[in-house]
Amino acid sequence: MYGLQGRRAIVTGAAHGIGRSIAARLLAEGCDVGIFDLDLAAAQGTAQALGKDGGKVVVASGDVSSSTDVAEGIGALTAALGPIDILVNNAGICKVGKLLETTEAEWKATFGINVDGMFHVTRQVAPSMVERRSGTIVNIASWMGKSGVAAYGAYCASKFAVVSLTQSLALEIGEYGIRVNAVAPGLIVDTKMRDESEIQRAAAGLPTAKDRAKAIPLRRAGLPSDIAKAVAFLASDQADYITGETISVTGGIWND
């Protein structure tokens, strides 16, 4: 355990998958957690399930690509929790498709959630951290944010942006004691995004997650809990001299 008792966290896209696992881990570490997700019913269900194990869980619904939704939702979570110590920008989408076949709407939707969403939420939360000279931000990138991959052009580009924005923000607000890092997941199963991606990959005649996992050095696909462990570490004082980094959690499919 990483000694996060009494800290207040917001996790975006936490109704399902990796975000839900991150919220669960932060609760287990002693945090109060705010969930911000477009799917209100699922977010409420997650909050109800996670809250049974103790800890305060509050929910706000909205679209991270909308600055208005973010201002209202993050404002509500902050009012309920108090000043935020940990922000996890997790909300994201992935569309499988060759770059030249990607529509303008798909491109804009990918960047709207994966990049604009991170921008909007961070702008709502970080100023208070700077004022208090305390806090940490963890962004969820991807191993595809370090290396281009065929059939994932828009997604790769958006996650490259997450990596660079993480580095830039770390440089800008490090003097105030705020650390900004990212986690780059590899092939993660047991998520809604993975399920949707597998359908798209099958339609495109691409290998399944099960087949791809055979090539991973650790010989297994990752789980949401693998990502949650890395997030908890980066959010903790154990990582108090780490900032501007994007840590790969891939089972070895990407080494930097």
For the annotated catalytic residues, the residue numbers are 155
Which residues neighbour 201 within 8 Å (Cβ) at sequence distance 6 or greater?
96, 151, 207, 208
What's the rounded Cα separation, in Å, for the pair 14 and 68?
19
8 φ, ψ to 5°? -115, 130
Which residues neighbour 116 within 8 Å (Cβ) at sequence distance 6 or greater?
64, 65
What's the rounded Cα separation, in Å, for the pair 31 and 57?
9
Sign of CA dihedral 200, 203, 209, 212: negative
Query: Identity (one letter) of the amino acid at 199?
Result: I
* Residue 96: both structure tokens together: 């499988």
Residue burial 174-186, b: 16+ Cβ < 10 Å; e: rest:
eeeebbbbbbbbb
